[in-house]
Structure 1
């Protein structure tokens, strides 16, 4: 989502770093470019002003301009202000001390409420809870059927009353949760094409018979500043406790993520970044700031890997890599593990230097992993363990068996050899006590 903004910011800060010693004029010129980049990313003008005013005040001080690495200090100030604007720290969905906890998902039609309800239920199950889904969207065609189908894939119950209005459905939800021994009630409310009096009156009536502990506004990140206006309209009538930002994997400019928290004072608690039911995660302002500045989100990638990878297999692969004994069999196992993490585009976005890596999305996709796996599967065990024996005739046989070309087989083998060389270099650097440089040079910028 932040590719265009990230590329512009990376260019600005790389330009600062090339200048070495900075003056107040250099910083002001760079901040003007940052202002244009943020406005171009559809960030609310009030948010842009707040960020730039705070950065200008701190970045032209003596401590920054006279530091050993002033460009990195300016970058750090920008990062800190981005984090502050987005809320400072992660805020969780809170659960009631006395179950069942009631969570409302509200918003306009098309924002992703129904899918987000199922995603939230799945997240709650992974945390040891027993949610009940409530289908209270009786207006949108097939909304109830959609929620029931999603719930069936999770083996979860859905409560609804055929022919009843949302208020009546809400009124019976807690009794049903107690009957089924469910500790969380997730209510998928009805939406409208736009904010109107009927929608707000209905939500207020539902809250009267089923008071929520959490009211989460689901907004579509693709709608840009419209998302901010929708959030303000809901906040004026309904006491929101959090925001769920959906479609973060889209090609929007990202302004909503930077604007919502500051404008509405309501924390973004969850973000959705895909259609699958596991594509919902907590919102970390600091990690989002890292991604916007092109430093990736390695922490989230590590957490996803720990939750997804087979521990024993991962430890075995790590040991073989450490021993510099890495074959195509281990490479295939690694690919299978990586495919569990989700789309390659999401993985690339989480790596440092995200803007540059983002350019690879058109060249590398999930289908390429399938083709690589097919090539390796077409090899004999001896060929996988000793790729140096792959002569021209063997490569032609592998290409025919995998439905690929000899050129693709050759490309894979070259990439594999390059990877082995890189791993050996990493091993040598580790022995010497050195580390890989981070983007912007200088081994990254210092922590405050």
Structure 2
């Protein structure tokens, strides 16, 4: 018997179905495996089903990660009585159909970011979520980085006034996996499947993180997008899902790099860079928030740390101070290891599962909601339109 249960009060099961078993499927599977062991959850998540197009690969994923059964049609799990939550980790082109069907069937939904491939699709999803919420059916977008303890703590410090009046934000997400022009095509480079490139894939994380930490939205943007390699070798199987490279080449229809500036509600300014061609950078997400009373800096490559600058300190003591975010008093960390024993990339997904299950049990709207996901989608869309129209400023609201 779980330590979370008594003979008198067993926890109610929450059957989870995962759609997709790629990179994000692995991260979400790890979260559903570990969150119940480390957090006192009010419901008992059950890894009921995993769904993928390739039956053999899906069965292998189910066995590897501990899912009870493998399915090849997502409609079966949406209609299944033993599934209460549908977790969508499939490509962006599939999000709207699966999410709307699941919500209409009375299933709670967790959907990976960005919410959809277009604003119109995101609007349909947000509308479906709003209707579902009236029946107690809840939906959340998977912006996992806001649940890195140091980023959550940065939000708390800004809310307390630790940096005074916000003036500037610098946000960068640097990767280099597309530096080689002979790197093969994948579905992430096909706009019809992925929606956009660096902008939507990693730039979306920056937009959400900045708005989350500051508590303010981006109101206007001016952007520039660039595709440095326009053709790449095709793999032997469809859409880069496996196989060996062939002599044929496919057209890259998304951006490699996105640069944009933004105005933040209240008057602060922000600069953003999201790129997959930053040579030597593997997964460098960097945030800096500057205000009249101080500053905060974060680097995902040192994800258990924050740099905090107090402009009110004595002149001979000025400088950024390193804060190790591993104390029990810090967000989430008290449920894991002793002080100083850091967390990793996968823990943010466990925190996401913890927060979602807690919200579902309480009947409260989890965050970020589909409405918040739609707002991020509108920011991305405004950047893309600005870039296409010569980098003029565009409002992010409809």
With structure 2 as the length reference, what TM-score do the two structures score? 0.32
Query: Which is richer in helix?
Result: 1
Give the structure with higher Rg (CA): 1
